[in-house]
Amino acid sequence: MPKIDKNLTVSGKRKTAIAKATIKKGEGKILVNKKPYENLDFFKKLTIKEPIEIAKKVLGVFDFDISINIKGGGSESQIFAARLALARALVKFTKSDELKTAFTKYDKNLLVADTRRKEPNKPGDSKARKKRQKSFR
């Protein structure tokens, strides 16, 4: 097994949501905003569970305590930011190249942030792309 640090904090972003994951050696507890991730609804729980299951498959055991704090954004953005922070924390903490390749093979967005943002409104227009109607008569 690769060399492991004592404590590590990694962040992940999605739109305006920012998640910070703190990882340390432990017994496999995962807290999202100081609550167990099992208390989340079904879709959110599955989204958070993806990197955990891949890590269990690659590393054999999952003995890390992870605390994720999320601020800003909507509920979907928060979960995807947490998923990104969790995956990045696992890769950085274990220093495992196999885990990194497994995450990349499963879904590139587990390690690479989605940089798309809302386009700003143009001056004098109501929306970013929509223009005012023009009257010809």
Query: For strand 7-14 and strand 30-32, is the pairing parallel, antiparallel, or unpaired?
Result: unpaired
Amino acid at the residue 65: D
Summarize the confidence of residues 61-65 as an average pLDDT: 91
Answer yes or no: is pLDDT of 81 > 90: yes
Across 7-21, 44-58, 119-133, least confident range: 119-133
Answer yes or no: is pLDDT of 4 > 60: no
7-110 CATH: 3.30.230.10
Question: Please, what is the average pLDDT of the chain?
Answer: 90
Q: How far apart are CA 12 and CA 80, in angstroms?
A: 8
Token pair recorded at residue 17: 């949501």
Answer yes or no: is pLDDT of 48 > 70: yes
Domain boundaries, the chain: 7-110
